[in-house]
Amino acid sequence: MYRRRVATVVAVTAASIGVVIVAALAAGRVVSSASASPGISWRGTPVKLGTRMFTGGNVRIVQAWLLAKRGGLAFYRLERSDGRNCFATGKAADFLRRINAFACSDRFPETQPLLDLSVIGADRPETSLRVIALIGFAADSVASVGAVDDAGQIVARTPVVHNVYMLHLGEDTRAKRVQAFGDSGAPLGAPR
């Protein structure tokens, strides 16, 4: 099949910043409440940084937490030296040695409900882009994340657990946007 996938690049990839992170601390250990991000209540498991990670200028990553593992993918919250947070995903088997997507946002989670790292792509001969996989981080107010088609219909939905979401969509799914939903099922924020 002539399938190509185009990943949504939100910030920089690990390959461009030469990230190497190693060794986890004790599984299941929870960090202090001071380490939680506003709007992200799940603290995760602390992990040890093997090298310095920089997010631009002199801003570096000083702490990291494993939030969850879903379908072979690990989700991380990274605290910067300026106190703000970045988020990353990588292969769970590599345990932070390789990062697939890395993003920092001044709006998430305080004013933006999702930090969406979903995969988009196209199939030949049809070349219109569509959502292939829902992947990302969600604020506490988000109960589920859905894939929405051009007509505004929800074609797939997945729950948010520990502030992360992941769902691979079928080849017949023609979703164009990603939408956050609250506990009541009402949409939160604009579709992305």
192 C-beta neighbours (distance < 10 Å), count: 18
Q: Which residues contact 86 (CB under 8 A, 6 or more apart)?
A: 11, 55, 61, 77, 78, 80, 102, 103, 104
**Rounded to whole angstroms, how far apart are CA atoms 157 and 167?**
8
Over residues 159-186, the pLDDT tens digits come to 999 999 999 998 778 888 999 999 999 9
β-sheet bridge partners, residue 16? none
- Kindly indicate the confidence band of residue 189, based on its pLDDT and cuts at 50, 70 and 90: confident
Pick the closest to residue 164 from 96, 116, 106, 121 (CA basis).
116
The predicted-structure confidence for 18-73, as pLDDT tens digits, reads as follows: 222 222 222 222 222 234 455 888 889 998 876 666 666 678 888 889 999 998 89
Distance CA 60, CA 42 (A): 22
Which of helix, strand or coil describes residue 92?
helix
Helix (H, G, I), strand (E, B) or coil at 40: strand
Give this prediction's pTM: 0.75
